[in-house]
Amino acid sequence: MKVDITFSRKGAGGYSVFIDSLPKMEFNTKVAVITNPKVSGLHIRKVLKNLKAKEIYIITVPDGEEYKNFESLNFILDRLFDHKLDRKSILIAFGGGVIGDMTGFAAAIFQRGIDFIQIPTTLLSQVDASVGGKTGINNKYGKNLIGAFHQPIAVYIDVSFLKTLPKREFSAGIAEIVKMAVTFDKDFFEWLERANLYNDEDLKVAIKKSVETKAWVVSQDEKEKGIRAVLNYGHTFAHVIENLTNYKTYLHGEAVAIGMVMANRLALSLGLLKEDEAKRIEELLKRYDLKTTFKIKDAEEFYEHFFLDKKSADKKIKFILPKGIGSYEMRDDIDREIVLQILREFEG
Ligand SMILES: NC(=O)c1ccc[n+]([C@@H]2O[C@H](COP(=O)([O-])OP(=O)(O)OC[C@H]3O[C@@H](n4cnc5c(N)ncnc54)[C@H](O)[C@@H]3O)[C@@H](O)[C@H]2O)c1
Ligand SMILES: [Zn+2]
């Protein structure tokens, strides 16, 4: 299966996302594979078996979001210089979204930009992070605040890598799949209600649909000036939840699942969504063991946290709300009191 991504921007090329077993890759240049010890230990053999290049280097950085920083980036760049990679060399991101974002950024800035390939190994990175060209790292001011738009030349998605993925990480990826369906594609949502994503064939279809959706969005709005923001459905709330729990209690996708349920409550109160539609979304999330509630300690404190989000510019909070299933509304004009009322429902 294959999804082609093109851009409306003049002069911007495109690339393909392949959803299949990892293909043979052959390059007449130097290649560096960027990965972490966990992913490398489990799966690097498969990559090396399929990869031919002039020279191959494996660069390993520590595992974890806390290592998506300048130090790791610098470590990667130093190794690229040590091994004398040049402007024709290619980087391969082999891991989850952390590795993908950091490798993409290294590729964006090494000698003003070289090509890179994504081989995402988590479900979240297969359906979301590896597509769209956002790359970057975190710093003490927040997540992904430093980065660049840099599109990969290809994305290879092989679901067999997911066999070793912890169950929670798998479910976290499902949340992002549900996100795409609810906001953009009713048929896809209804298909998800019938499908079983623990089955590889169904899973591949879901990945393809998600990638297609994200690709369609990104191709219209590469730099998030408009429609790309819809991919943040559930995220306005999720970022607060992650922040309030110090990024320790919930995986990102788990927080997104709760965030979508909160956004749905808001949509419900504004008459955009019906009770039974909200229920169906919640049921789908629960089916994959995603939590759909969060005890808010203090609704006002929660509300204030919205403003920490870099996307809430000008003291306006941007909510992405489902309009029925398969459509959306972007709203930045919702009364504080209306939002607080919803947040209070989650207090306890
Ligand atoms: N660029 C984008 O558009 C975009 C979109 C969404 C998320 N992101 C970024 O992605 C990151 C989150 O990505 P993630 O959820 O993949 O997290 P992650 O990269 O931290 O991976 C999660 C964990 O799973 C492990 N792992 C990876 N593949 C595995 C496998 N096959 N088997 C067993 N373990 C495996 C990793 O080592 C890690 O411990 C965040 O930094 C986020 O900002 C970027
Ligand atoms: Zn997300």
User: 177 CA distance to ligand 2 centroid (A)?
Assistant: 10
Ligand 1 atom closest to the Cα of residue 101 is 1
Check pLDDT > 70 for residue 11: no
Chain segment 294-333, per-residue pLDDT in tens? 999 999 999 999 988 665 556 789 999 999 999 999 999 9
Q: Is 239 a catalytic residue?
A: yes
What does DSSP assign to residue 125? I
Query: How large is the average pLDDT for residues 90-118?
Result: 98
Q: Is 169 a catalytic residue?
A: no
Q: Are 208 and 3 contacting, i.e. CB atoms less than 8 angstroms apart?
A: yes
Active-site pick, 30, 134, 204, 265: 134
> What confidence score (pLDDT) does residue 266 get?
97
What does DSSP assign to residue 160? G
pTM for this predicted structure = 0.94
Percentage of residues of the chain with pLDDT beyond 90: 86
Query: How large is the average pLDDT for residues 86-91?
Result: 98
CB atoms within 10 A of CB 232: 22
Query: How large is the average pLDDT for residues 230-237?
Result: 96
Chain segment 236-257, per-residue pLDDT in tens? 999 999 999 999 999 999 999 9
Check pLDDT > 60 for residue 4: yes
Ligand 1 pocket, residues with Cβ under 6 angstroms:
36, 38-39, 42, 63, 65, 68, 95-99, 101, 121-122, 124-125, 128-129, 132, 134, 143-144, 161-162, 164-165, 169, 252
Active-site pick, 36, 138, 232, 264: 232
Percentage of residues of the chain with pLDDT beyond 70: 96
Check pLDDT > 60 for residue 128: yes
Closest residue by CA, ligand 1 atom 11? 97
Q: Is 112 a catalytic residue?
A: yes
Two structure tokens written together for 66: 């806390």
Ligand nearest to the CA of 232: 2
What Cα–Cα distance (Å) separates residue 277 from each residue in 25, 35, 262?
45, 41, 13
Closest residue by CA, ligand 1 atom 3? 129
Q: Is 134 a catalytic residue?
A: yes
Which of 124, 131, 251 is the pocket-test mutation for ligand 1 (most atoms within 8 Å of CB)?
124
Ligand 1 atom closest to the Cα of residue 176 is 6
Angle between helices 336-345 and 252-269 (to 10 degrees): 120
> Residues with Cβ < 8 Å from 277, sequence gap 6 or more?
264, 322, 324, 325
As a whole number of Å, the end-to-end CA separation of the chain is: 47
Active-site pick, 79, 252, 265, 318: 252
- Please tell me the distance from the alpha carbon of residue 6 to that of residue 229, in angstroms, as a whole number: 19
